A and B are shown apart, each in its own frame.
Chain A
Amino acid sequence: MADLGAESIAADHLSGFLGALREAGIIAPHQKQQDFLQALSATPPATRRGLYWQARITLTGSKEEIDRFNPVFAAWFGETQAGVKPAELDSDGEEVRKPDSLHGGTLPLPLTPGEGTGQAASGDDLLNRMSPRRASEQERMLIKRARRAAERHLPRRSSLRLRPSPARDVIDLRRMIRAAARHGGELIRFRYRARPMKKRPVLLFVDVSGSLKGLTPDYLRFARALGETSAKVEVFSIGTRLTRLTAALLDGVFDRALQRVAAKVEDFEGGTQIGRSLADFFAHRQYAGLARGAIVIILSDGLERGDPTLLVHAVQRLHRLAERLVWLTPLKRAADYRPVTRAMAAVAPYLDHIGGAASLERLAADISEWTRP
């Protein structure tokens, strides 16, 4: 046994390491940290490499986390003496916490990816406000049509649970045997179970950036129309930042909805940083779950400024989580549309459907297109 002094230094170093991981966005829950410490005491690693594997296997949970784990491990257990080495920059340009500042506070959320990637805020992040007008008679009709079409076509799934039901899916032998046991082994009547159908959740991202200014109100109305169906709908605006609009847009009287949204969204007609907005979405753990098994719809022209890497990563991730990923763009006016911009071409392989969104009429008419299995 080492003397107490060395032991407590080691313990401090470990807890500092775990804190640094948390700040790098690897939220290893208590149970995993316990696994790590248990592994250390069960088989103390002889080499740095051995320690690396023990820590990586117990503390991480996905390939992305491994990528973030590596620089932190190098900073804390690298070749140079820990505490001497200056803070490193990892691939995202995020600062890895200095090993000598132990017991730092913990961030509730990982740092926003893309923070400090050199992409300075776009010059036209004007935080403009929009003054939406009331919907016209014709618009109301289109909204109604969109709602009806969505109610009819939005994909459903059967829930995994079998419930007693008059629908004759599966014979409920368990109930029948129980009844038979009470009646001397006589099967008196058939009982059934079925999987009730329910709509898949819908997750909408509405682009509110400048290039779409005329269309944004229509897109919001379309989102509202979907929200009035029996599906569970979540709406976010993307532009230069991410804003959750679900409550503002879907609750209350229709004509007021757009005004509430206008008050909430601060980046109407600002620049386009869809990638960063979507990365923000994944930085909030409670949001990321909304995409799971959902129909995810992105309403945007995809005119991303600068490097599309962030956008591609976010779309790949959405593709992995979502049941179906649909991109509706006003640039698609004909069936032979091919994505040409760098960003759109890069994300196209991960999209299940690219559809048109040139007007509310088009949106309402095309619902059956992208909901088709």
Chain B
Amino acid sequence: MPKDTRSKKRDLGSSTAVAAVLEEAGYLADEGLATAVQLATALQKPLLLEGEPGVGKTEVARALSTALSRDLIRLQCYEGIDAAQALYEWNYAKQLLAVRADGEKAGVDDVFNERFLVERPLLKALRSGNGAVLLIDEVDRADAEFEAFLLEFLGDFQITVPELGTIKATQPPFVVLTSNRTRELHDALKRRCLYHWIAFPEAARERRILELKVPGLTEAAASSLVEAVNGIRRLALLKKPGIAESIEWARAGSVLVEGGNDWPTALRRALGLLVKDQDDLQTVLAEGAPLLRAVNG
């Protein structure tokens, strides 16, 4: 290992240590995810996370940056994103002024140097001295060609700018890529990454997550809520609710309960926060009614 990435006095040497660090930042990771983060640190490789929407892929990066007190640099991918938006761009207005001011003396090299470079997320991550946490979110939304831009960056943590040469990270960033699998990623990209599939959490962990994220939720309410959510996930839905949705649902439910409703009524009213499709909503109301009735605080 060329460099020690544990400069931020946090121990990420074992999966239990990683889980503890993440928990401090409010993220409850299971053993698999903790191992993935630990290996990504030890091997200095990017971590590719896939999973159903709302299982906490993006949250991982946020929790890591909080826990390690490093910068979080986020690159949201979208169709049509290209190098100028992800890597770097030249500050043309400034270049033009410089050329005009210097008149005859100005050479081409004078304006294509660091002073005129505009950092975009990937370059910023390389040049941030303390090894930032870089989140490349929803990489499956970008065009397939864009993945090719990422290869050099992910493989060697460097970027080549034709006029300047190669810029390399002093301290490699911790890179998290997320994908919702709307399309398959290239093998070349996958080869450079560690891969982890985040599944829906088991009931015990989801209950702890709810208790952590929804203050004032009783233990009985939390566990019957999780049971209801898991029951709803088993129904034939177009989009199964993720953890993000169940947290929202529990929050809304507890607000309504404080306002004087009983749990089943409150949850039925807040159902739109858990299930966000009209057909799914009908299915849950028809088949999931006993699940809702069973919830009590």
Residues in A lying within 8 Å of B, measured CB to CB: 29, 31-32, 35, 38-39, 42-43, 49-50, 53-54, 56-58, 60-63, 66, 159-162, 173-174, 177-178, 180-182, 184-185, 187, 292-293, 317, 320-321
Contact = CB atoms under 8 A, between A and B. Distances in A.
Contacts of B103: 184-185
Contacts of B31: 49-50, 53
Interface of B: 1, 13-15, 31-32, 35-36, 38-39, 42-43, 45, 48, 50, 80, 82, 90, 92, 95-96, 99-104, 106-108, 110-111, 143-146, 181-184, 187, 190-192, 194-197
A57 B36 contact: yes
B106 A181 contact: yes
A107 B290 CA distance: 52
B16 to A, nearest CB: 10
Nearest to B181: A320
A56 B103 CA distance: 61
B36 A53 contact: yes
Given A42-B43, A43-B14, A57-B32, A185 B99 contact: yes
B108 A58 contact: no
B198 to A, nearest CB: 10
B95 A177 contact: yes
10 A-B pairs with least C-beta separation: A185-B100, A53-B35, A61-B190, A173-B92, A185-B99, A160-B145, A42-B42, A181-B108, A57-B36, A184-B104
A1 B190 CA distance: 34
Nearest to B38: A43
B190 to A, nearest CB: 4
Given A61-B195, A187-B96, 17 more contacts: A29-B191, A39-B39, A50-B31, A57-B35, A57-B36, A58-B194, A61-B48, A61-B191, A62-B184, A63-B181, A66-B197, A173-B90, A180-B99, A181-B107, A185-B96, A185-B103, A317-B184
A38 B96 contact: no
A54 B35 contact: yes
B111 A35 contact: no
A321 B183 contact: yes
A61 B144 contact: no
Given A173-B92, A320-B181, A320-B183, A57 B39 contact: yes
A174 to B, nearest CB: 6
A219 B77 CA distance: 39
Contacts of A35: 39, 43, 45, 194
Nearest to B193: A61
Which residue of A38, A181, A187 has the most chain B CB atoms within 10 A of its CB atom?
A: A181
Given A181-B99, A182-B108, A293-B144, A50 B43 contact: no
B32 A56 contact: yes
Give chain B's interface secondary structure class. helix
A271 B194 CA distance: 43
7 contacts: A32-B191, A42-B42, A43-B39, A50-B35, A63-B197, A160-B82, A184-B104
Contacts of A39: 39, 42-43
Contacts of A58: 39, 43, 194
Chain A binding site: helix, strand, loop or mixed by DSSP? helix
A39 B103 CA distance: 57
A310 B211 CA distance: 42
B13 A43 contact: yes
A321 B212 CA distance: 39
A185 B110 CA distance: 12
A178 B109 CA distance: 9
Nearest to B81: A160
A286 B78 CA distance: 27
A61 B185 CA distance: 9
Contacts of B184: 62, 292, 317, 320-321
A357 to B, nearest CB: 26
B144 A177 contact: no
A167 B168 CA distance: 36
A134 to B, nearest CB: 41
Contacts of A53: 15, 31-32, 35-36
A181 B111 contact: yes
Nearest to A30: B191
A169 to B, nearest CB: 13
Contacts of B15: 50, 53
A292 B106 CA distance: 47
Contacts of A32: 191
A166 B32 CA distance: 54
B74 to A, nearest CB: 22
A365 B44 CA distance: 56
A177 B182 CA distance: 40
A177 B99 CA distance: 8
A233 B82 CA distance: 27
Contacts of A320: 181-184
Contacts of B99: 177, 180-181, 185
B14 A185 contact: no
A236 to B, nearest CB: 19
Q: Which of A63, A185, A187 has the most CB of B within 10 A?
A: A185
Contacts of A63: 50, 181, 197
A214 B225 CA distance: 58
B192 to A, nearest CB: 8
Contacts of B143: 160, 293
